[in-house]
Amino acid sequence: MNAIVLSGIWGVVMMFAGLFLKSSKQIQWTALLGIIALLVVSILDYQAHSVQAQTYFGMMTIDVYTSWFSILITACCAMYLLIFHKDIAAVGKNEAEYFALIFFVMCGVYLLASYSNLLILFLGIEILSIPQYILAGSDKENIKSNEASLKYFLMGAFSTGLLLMGMTLIYGATGSFDITSEKFVGQFEQLSSMSSLSFVGILLLLISFGFKVSAAPLHLWTPDVYDGSPTAFTPFMATIVKVSVFVAFIRLFHFSFGNVSDAWQIAIASMIVLTLIIGNVTAVYQQSLKRMMAYSSIAQAGFMLFSIFAVNSTLAYKGILLYSVVYSLASIGVFAVIIKMKDYTYDGFNGLAKKQPVLAFTATVCLLSLVGIPLTGGFFAKYFVLSAVVEQGKYIWIVVFAVLMAAISAYYYFRVIRSMYFKTGEAAMHTEPTTWDKTLLILNAMIILLLGVLPSLVFG
Amino acid sequence: MQKDGLEAIIMEICNPIIYHFLRSLKNNSQTITIFELQALFLRHFKKMPSQYYLFLSLALFCIGVMGVLMRRNAIIILMCIELMLNAVNLLLVTFSKMYNDPNAQLFVFFIMVVAAAEVSIGLAIIVMMYRKVHSIDVHILNRLKN
């Protein structure tokens, strides 16, 4: 798995780049070079590992699924860096360090994609989280950024404690950290033979997972953190980090705890219901678009939880892959427009369609994809995760409920489109988009539309 | 060592230190060497079932969780998080001994390293916050909202 090594090394390279390269442009180009190299290396990894392979003393399992996910998530990160690299450099003085931290987060993402030992899961989650605490507080002069950073740190460290306790209790019940070992698999063969330690362990893991993906009732930090962090980093936290935590836990819950799904499915079901209600209803009342996107990311996490909820279904894996890519690209597209604006409220977007037709069009495509309108990728993403639950045959009512909630979400997404197209006003820009920005945004929108027609492209 | 009925009960219920303390109060002729004491400790703790450690570390963990949820001072919250992590460490060592498996003790080292990294970041964030608002009370954050 060369991508893990390269992402770690490139993080260090970026830190040295801050020391030796004088101009900001050169640092940005180094970062872009790094992410392209990462993409190439992960594609090479994919070709090399056509069969399942164990590396790092059996602590990591690399198969087609994990290396394909690595490619997709690296591509999303490349899109993010290409669109936002100027804004990242503009956050503060230490631009090289921001890029370095992003590369360290990518290292954590690769670990999470291919762990087969609870130790690596723990390390991956920590490597993923710790750089984010710094990124959230990187706008040091802004008190909201400081607040976001402290809040994120306290919540994140607390959930790490719960995660570790869960892992320890599961170790106490099984006697092994290796999720593929016989002892581990034997413990979770059937519900009646499970010890009470593993029940509590699974529950604690679930709580910690809820914290990391901001599922209700553990979502309370999310709006403040996403709103307070610099706008350049919010899409990174809301998309790439969140979906990789999902992919990590789907492995654990399906492969290891799949046979004892009766023990935890009801907990996930209540999490889904709460997340969908709280995320969607609260998003309706927001005035700031950035805060609305924070609540919308909570609501979308509710939909992604369906893929964990539907056990032993191939549709669930397809669903989470497609949902990861489509949701990441759509959120990145919306944030790319938000960051160009001076005023983040709905009124600030009035009349954007006349002034910047390209930006308004790409934002519309992304918002439609977030709602799940047919012909955009979001439709098939929602379709796959929901039909995985239908295929499972239990808890059908929750699907009906989710569709109703998607209808509520249409209200606040369409409100942005109405502001842009049907209201008159002076949409004041913070920075004027260049032709390069517009090209990338159109490319982003085209990928979303293409996935709406040919969703099988992301299944590999 | 001769033990009458009462002393045997004390030996069973209390820990060896109290036992020896009582012995020395009675001014018995026997002197206690450090090796004897150590042997007594080991004998005693080998008999101690691992549930005791489980309950101890769960209690420590719960104290940590309550501290995080109830205290307002950011540094005390950080200390409570450390308490949670150390409870986990204790439990891991217990299980390691129970299963004769060194992997869990390795896990403890990883937890220590990560906790050190986390604390260094956390203290830096708290200092940054203090410079702005001259307080490390986390309730002040609620007043900043919007």
Residues of A in contact with B51 (CB under 8 A): none
pLDDT of residue A457: 87
Q: Which two tokens stand for residue A136?
A: 């959230």
- Nearest CB to B61: which of A165, A171, A175? A165
CA distance B33 to chain A (A): 37
Q: Which two tokens stand for residue A271?
A: 């999490």
- Among A26-40, A58-72, B131-145, the least confident range: B131-145
Contact between A172 and B64 using a beta-carbon 8 Å cutoff: no
Contact between A123 and B110 using a beta-carbon 8 Å cutoff: yes
pLDDT of residue B26: 52
Do the Cβ atoms of A294 and A238 come closer than 8 Å?
A: yes
A266 pLDDT above the threshold of 70:
yes
Cα angle A432, A437, A441 (rounded to 5 degrees) comes to 120
B81 touches chain A (CB under 8 A): yes
B9 pLDDT above the threshold of 60:
no
Contact between B145 and A224 using a beta-carbon 8 Å cutoff: yes
Q: Search chain B and give the residue with CA nearest A160.
A: B85
Phi, psi of A429 (to 5 degrees): -95, 145
Write out the residue limits of the CATH 1.10.287.3510 domain(s) in chain B.
50-143
DSSP per-residue letters across A377-427: HHHHHHHHHHHHHHHH-S-THHHHHHHHHHHHHHHHHHHHHHHHHHS----
CA–CA separation, A129 and A67 (whole Å)? 22
pTM to 2 decimal places: 0.90
Query: In chain A, what are the domain boundaries?
Result: 264-460
The one-character DSSP state at A239 is I
- Nearest CB to B122: which of A143, A153, A168? A153
CA A239 to chain centre: 3
Residues β-bridged to residue A62: A53
B104 pLDDT above the threshold of 90:
yes
Residues of A in contact with B81 (CB under 8 A): 154, 157-158, 160-161
CA distance A2 to chain B (A): 23
Contact between B85 and A151 using a beta-carbon 8 Å cutoff: no
CA–CA separation, A24 and A397 (whole Å)? 54
A161 pLDDT above the threshold of 70:
yes
Do the Cβ atoms of A102 and A89 come closer than 8 Å?
A: no
Confidence of residue A138 (pLDDT cuts 50, 70, 90): very high
A168 touches chain B (CB under 8 A): yes
Contacts of B2 (CB under 8 A, 6+ apart): none
Residues of B in contact with A153 (CB under 8 A): 121-122, 125
Could you tell me which of A93, A86, A82, A81 has the C-alpha nearest to residue A139? A93
pLDDT digits 0-9 by tens, B62-88:
999 999 999 999 999 999 999 999 999
3-state secondary structure (DSSP) of residue A287: coil
Confidence of residue A279 (pLDDT cuts 50, 70, 90): very high
CA distance A173 to chain B (A): 9
Q: Search chain B and give the residue with CA nearest A59.
A: B103
CA–CA separation, A289 and A346 (whole Å)? 6
pLDDT of residue B4: 53
Q: What percent of chain A has pLDDT over 90?
A: 77
pLDDT mean across residues, chain A: 92
B126 touches chain A (CB under 8 A): yes
pLDDT of residue A47: 86
B138 touches chain A (CB under 8 A): yes
Strands A53-55 and A60-62: antiparallel
Could you tell me which of A240, A160, A173 has the C-alpha nearest to residue A200? A173
DSSP per-residue letters across A310-356: STT-HHHHHHHHHHHHHHHHHHHHHHHHHTTBS--BGGGGTTHHHH-
Indicate which of A150, A195, A225 best probes the interface with B, i.e. most B CBs within 10 Å of its own CB: A150
- Nearest CB to A150: which of B84, B99, B129? B129
Residue in this structure with the two tokens 């009925």, named with its chain if needed: B5
pLDDT digits 0-9 by tens, A93-135:
889 999 999 999 999 999 999 999 999 999 999 999 999 999 9
Do the Cβ atoms of B136 and B126 come closer than 8 Å?
A: yes
Q: Which CATH architecture has domain B50-143?
A: Orthogonal Bundle (1.10)
Residues β-bridged to residue B33: none
Confidence of residue B45 (pLDDT cuts 50, 70, 90): low
Count other C-beta atoms under 10 Å from residue B13's C-beta. 9
This model of the complex carries an ipTM of 0.91
Count other C-beta atoms under 10 Å from residue B50's C-beta. 13
CA distance B21 to chain A (A): 36
Residues of B in contact with A137 (CB under 8 A): 125, 128
CA–CA separation, A120 and A111 (whole Å)? 7
Q: Search chain A and give the residue with CA nearest B99.
A: A175
- Nearest CB to A161: which of B81, B133, B144? B81
Residue in this structure with the two tokens 């609870």, named with its chain if needed: A118
Q: Search chain B and give the residue with CA nearest A287.
A: B146
Q: Search chain A and give the residue with CA nearest B57.
A: A165
Confidence of residue B138 (pLDDT cuts 50, 70, 90): confident
Contacts of A424 (CB under 8 A, 6+ apart): A350, A351
- Among A3-12, A35-44, A137-146, A275-284, the least confident range: A137-146
Indicate which of A168, A169, A183 best probes the interface with B, i.e. most B CBs within 10 Å of its own CB: A168
Confidence of residue A166 (pLDDT cuts 50, 70, 90): very high
Indicate which of B100, B120, B129, B143 best probes the interface with A, i.e. most A CBs within 10 Å of its own CB: B129
How buried is residue A389: exposed, middle or buried, by Cβ count under 10 Å (0-12/13-18/19+)?
buried
pLDDT digits 0-9 by tens, A367-400:
999 999 999 999 999 999 999 999 988 889 999 9
Contact between B128 and A146 using a beta-carbon 8 Å cutoff: yes
- Among A55-59, A175-179, A206-210, B20-24, the least confident range: B20-24
CA–CA separation, A360 and A440 (whole Å)? 14
pLDDT digits 0-9 by tens, A418-447:
999 999 888 888 889 999 999 999 999 999
Contact between A150 and B74 using a beta-carbon 8 Å cutoff: yes
DSSP per-residue letters across B125-137: HHHHHHHHHS--B
pLDDT of residue B1: 47
Give me the residues of B, 33-72, that contact A with CB < 8 A. 54, 61, 64-65, 68
B29 pLDDT above the threshold of 80:
no
pLDDT of residue B13: 55
3-state secondary structure (DSSP) of residue B32: coil
Residues of A in contact with B84 (CB under 8 A): 158, 161-162, 164-165
CA–CA separation, B52 and A154 (whole Å)? 30
Count other C-beta atoms under 10 Å from residue A217's C-beta. 12
pLDDT digits 0-9 by tens, A300-339:
999 999 999 998 788 898 899 999 999 999 999 999 999 9
How many Cβ pairs closer than 8 A exist between chain A and B? Answer: 105
pLDDT digits 0-9 by tens, A344-367:
999 999 989 999 999 999 999 999
pLDDT of residue B32: 56
Q: What long-range pairs does B24-28 form, CB within 8 A, spacing at least 24?
A: none
CA distance B139 to chain A (A): 11
pLDDT digits 0-9 by tens, A52-88:
778 888 899 888 888 899 999 999 999 999 999 999 9
Indicate which of B81, B100, B133, B142 best probes the interface with A, i.e. most A CBs within 10 Å of its own CB: B81
B127 touches chain A (CB under 8 A): no
CA–CA separation, A164 and A128 (whole Å)? 15
A172 touches chain B (CB under 8 A): yes
